[in-house]
DNA sequence: CGAACTTTTGAACCCCTTCAACATCAGTGG
DNA sequence: CCACTGATGTTGAAGGGGTTCAAAAGTTCG
């Protein structure tokens, strides 16, 4: 049960649904941030580019999540579809006008706070963890976050490419690949395909995640 | 003019002032988060420790800033005084009860949002910048943030130690020291003491900060 | 002055990156 | 179905940026 359920419900009732193809931009960094977006199907990423092309991924979002609230006047990140996904956009000002009756402010705060918490956890990973620990933490999070969502028996799945993982974890694609190979050699995880895996030793994974 | 002025004013009127000595803990990570803290003098840092002792600093705070709101039920970071500082603590629930009349919710949101913005900027630094770029960004931020605050002519000052800088930037103390030496050799900054410096070439510093 | 701490500097090492080649997968059309 | 093609992922070897370890220099405070 995500913390932003209330917000997600509002967006679902009010928003205009739009479909974005894989890799398409939902909104752009430095753009005016007057819309917020409820993800109702598929998955998305938020990214920020440095002037020379280096890329940092802020977070990954799934059905039920709210994107676009993470900023002030302008978006600090761009958002792009990881695969085909449908998004419902609502003008923030009209939402606010409507929310006088209900706990709109608190819903906004809940989403923002959740965002902050995730970003702070991310900060710790980028600042003080080794490549192996980063990948282990990442896989652990993925495996934990949607324990119910996985099709029964198939195990957790990765909505993003290796490059996306690398840009999220502050590593190169090669290092990510090597660490996954390493974790498999240790019999801690097992990949059934590029995008699907299976945790065989939760205790060891938790330990390696530091 | 900080975004949390409204909140700071409220805290100043209501809070019980407490003084903390250098290095003292203001609140502790994983502790119940029912108080929020208005910093009215001095400077503080928020830190999070990994089990093996590695430390990540979340941010640095100065007079006028609000600390302790960055979490949900429990603090995700500890807070400690960088030097002697006075803090006014207010119980969040009592503040909320009182705020029915004024824009308390929006003040809370403003503080949280500002926190999120800073954390997101920090994320980019830790994820994708080199040691030199990290130190350059850091010095640039310090020099920019309190342009008026510096005693006239003396230039910006660092409230934190090299170790604090290192733990904020995800580096070692030696690397931070080397990068500062390097920037001085390039005549981009000039340190008059360990804690005081002076930007001699803003353009070059901006460029190096990436 | 002397002791404890912080900062700087030096040298060797290592983790991650870089560059390159190979492997695998998905989509297309023959 | 299979060959072809481009995108994605893996593996290997060499190089570099940052760390580690050690020692010197500077600072603070008794």
Among A120, A69, A51, A134, CA closest to B122: A120
The top-scoring range by mean pLDDT among A11-15, A133-137, B20-24, B84-88 is A133-137
d(CA B163, CA B143): 19
Q: What is the DSSP string of B173-184?
A: HHHHHHHHHHHH
Q: For residue A90, what pLDDT is reported?
A: 87
Q: Which of A127, A170, A208 to probe the B interface (max B CBs under 10 A)?
A: A127
Q: For residue A133, what pLDDT is reported?
A: 98
Question: Which spans in A129-201 are helix H?
Answer: 131-145, 162-169, 173-185
Residue A107, pLDDT > 80, answer no
Q: Give CA torsion, residues B53, B58, B62, B63, to 10 deg.
A: -100
**Which of left, alpha, beta for B170 (phi over 0: left; psi -120 to 50: alpha)?**
left
Q: For residue B132, what pLDDT is reported?
A: 98
Nearest nucleotide to A54 by CA–C1' distance?
A: C17
Going across the sheet that includes B43-49, the strands are B25-27, B78-81, B43-49, B55-62
| Contact in structure between A7 and A107 (CB atoms under 8 Å) | yes
Q: For residue A151, what pLDDT is reported?
A: 64
- Report chain A residues whose CB lies below 8 A from the CB of B123: 56, 58, 119, 122-123, 126
Q: Do A117 and B50 touch (CB under 8 A)?
A: no
Q: Tell the residue number behind the tokens 């957790």, with chain if given.
A: A156
Comparing A108 with B55, the larger pLDDT belongs to B55
Q: Chain B residues within 8 A (CB-CB) of chain A?
A: 48, 50-52, 54-56, 58, 70-72, 76-77, 105-106, 108-109, 112-113, 115-117, 119-124, 126-129, 167, 169-170, 210
Q: Do B58 and A120 touch (CB under 8 A)?
A: yes
Q: For residue A4, what pLDDT is reported?
A: 47
Nearest nucleotide to A134 by CA–C1' distance?
A: C16
d(CA A19, CA A108): 24
d(CA A175, CA A47): 20
d(CA A113, CA A105): 12
- Report chain A residues whose CB lies below 8 A from the CB of B210: 50-52
The answer to which of A11-20, A81-90, A122-131 has the lowest mean pLDDT is A11-20
Residues within a 7 A CB radius of strand C: A 130-132, 170-172, 174-175, 178, 193-194; B 161-163, 173-174, 176-178, 180-181, 191, 194
B152-194 pLDDT per residue, tens? 567 899 999 999 999 999 999 999 999 999 999 999 999 999 9
CA of B13 to C1' of D22 (A): 53
Q: Write the burial class of residue B179 (CB in 10 Å: 0-12 exposed, 13-18 middle, 19+ buried).
A: buried
CA of B173 to C1' of D13 (A): 32
Q: Does at least one atom of strand D sit less than 7 Å from the CB of A126?
A: no
Going across the sheet that includes B16-20, the strands are B16-20, B85-91, B35-41, B66-67
Closest to A112 (Cβ–Cβ): which among B48, B54, B113? B113
Q: Which CA distances in Å does B87 have to A94, B17, B41, B64, B164?
A: 39, 5, 7, 10, 21
d(CA B103, CA B111): 13
Q: For residue A1, what pLDDT is reported?
A: 40
Q: For residue A130, what pLDDT is reported?
A: 98
Number of alpha carbons in the 13 Å side-chain half-sphere of residue B79: 29
- Within 8 A by CB and 6+ apart from B42, the residues are B20, B63, B81, B82, B83, B84, B85, B86
Q: For residue A28, what pLDDT is reported?
A: 92
B122-153 pLDDT per residue, tens? 999 999 999 999 999 999 999 998 766 666 56
B11-59 pLDDT per residue, tens? 777 778 999 999 999 999 988 888 889 999 999 999 999 999 999 999 9
d(CA A41, CA A43): 7
Q: Kindly state the average pLDDT of the residues A41-56.
A: 95
d(CA B97, CA B84): 31
Closest to A48 (Cβ–Cβ): which among B71, B124, B167? B124
A160-194 pLDDT per residue, tens? 999 999 999 999 999 999 999 999 999 999 999 99
Comparing B7 with B165, the larger pLDDT belongs to B165
Confidence band, pLDDT 50/70/90 cuts, at residue A148: low
pLDDT, chain A, mean: 88
B66-119 pLDDT per residue, tens? 998 866 678 999 999 999 999 999 887 777 666 555 566 667 778 888 999 999
d(CA A37, CA A8): 9
Phi/psi at A135 (nearest 5 deg)? -65, -40
- Report chain A residues whose CB lies below 8 A from the CB of B207: none
Among B80, B44, B58, B135, CA closest to A128: B58
Q: For residue B2, what pLDDT is reported?
A: 44
Q: For residue B111, what pLDDT is reported?
A: 87
| Contact in structure between A2 and A75 (CB atoms under 8 Å) | no
Q: For residue B71, what pLDDT is reported?
A: 60
Q: Which of A71, A76, A116 to probe the B interface (max B CBs under 10 A)?
A: A116
Q: For residue A2, what pLDDT is reported?
A: 44
Residue B120, pLDDT > 70, answer yes
d(CA A82, CA A60): 9
Chains A and B: how many Cβ contacts under 8 Å? 93
Name residues 159-188 of chain B with a Cβ under 7 Å from nucleic strand D: 170-172, 174-175, 178
């Amino acid at each position: 049960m995500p913390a932003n359920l209330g917000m997600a419900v509002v967006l679902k009732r009010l928003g205009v649904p739009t479909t974005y193809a894989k890799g398409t931009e939902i909104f752009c960094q430095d753009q005016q941030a007057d819309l917020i977006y409820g993800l109702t199907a598929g998955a998305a990423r938020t990214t920020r580019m440095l002037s020379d092309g280096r890329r940092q991924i802020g977070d990954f979002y799934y059905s039920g999540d709210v994107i676009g609230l993470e900023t002030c006047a302008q978006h600090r990140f761009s958002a792009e579809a990881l695969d085909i996904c449908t998004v419902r956009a609502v003008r923030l000002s009209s939402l606010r006008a409507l929310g006088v009756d209900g706990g709109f402010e608190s819903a906004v705060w809940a989403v923002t706070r959740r965002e902050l918490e995730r970003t702070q956890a991310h900060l710790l990973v980028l600042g003080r963890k080794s490549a192996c620990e980063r990948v282990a933490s990442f896989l652990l999070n993925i495996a934990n976050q949607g324990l119910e969502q996985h099709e029964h028996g198939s195990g957790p799945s990765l909505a993003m490419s290796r490059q996306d993982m690398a840009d999220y974890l502050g590593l190169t694609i090669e290092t990510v690949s090597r660490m996954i190979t390493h974790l498999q050699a240790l019999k801690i995880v097992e990949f059934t395909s590029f995008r699907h895996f299976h945790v065989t030793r939760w205790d060891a994974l938790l330990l390696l995640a530091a």
